[in-house]
Amino acid sequence: MEKSEQNLYEIFGEVIAEQDFLKAFLITSALAFLLYFSAPQIVRMMGREDLLNALRVTLSALGAFLGFIVSTVIIEPKRVVEEE
């Protein structure tokens, strides 16, 4: 069975590692808020400042989703799968 250098915890039937969760959380939140706060510049560049509120939320959700992809690539799932 695999071992990890990190502290492992069980949450909702899943095993997660402390540092990996922190890493994923920082990546997703940073990207979400980065796009949220850069929305005014982006709408100005597009010349559509009326869309600010709409784009703010969409862009931050997009940021969080990008964060999900990045964290999925860099973090190893804590599961050992065995086929019968």
Partner 1 sequence: MELASLLIQATLLTMFSVFLYVIIGMIPGTDETATIAPITLAFLTAGFDPLLILAWFMGTIVAFKAADAVPTALAAIPGGVMAVPQVPDALVARKYGYSEILLRKGITASVIGTVVAIAITLPLSFYLAPLGELLKNSAGPLNWPGWVYLIVAGTLLLAIMSKAKILALLSIFPFAMLVQGLRGLYGHSAFISIFLAITIGPILYELLTLISPNNHHLRRSDYARIKLVKTRKISLNPLHHLTKAEVTLSSILAGISGILATFMSPVGLTVLFGDLIKESQKDELKGSLMAYAVRDAIKNATYIGGTLIPLIALGVPTGPMSAGPAHPFFAELASFGGLTPRDVLLQRYSTSTIMLVTIYATLFAALLAYTILIKYSKQLTLFVFRKVPAEALYATFLAIVLVLAYNDAGVAGIFGSILVGLISATFVRNGVSIGILFMVLVAAPYLVGLLF
Which residue ranges make up the site for partner 1 (CB under 8 A)? Answer: 1-4, 7-18, 20-21, 23-25, 27-29, 31-33, 36, 51, 53-58, 60-61, 63-65, 67-68, 71-72, 75-84
Q: Which CA distances in Å does 19 have to 55, 70, 84? A: 32, 15, 32
16 within 8 A of 78, measured Cβ to Cβ: yes
Of residues 1 and 45, the one with the C-beta less far from partner 1: 1
CB 62 to partner 1: min, Å: 9
State the CB neighbour count (10 A cutoff) for residue 16.
17
Distance of closest approach, residue 61 Cβ to partner 1, in angstroms: 4
Q: Which residue has the tokens 């804590």?
A: 78
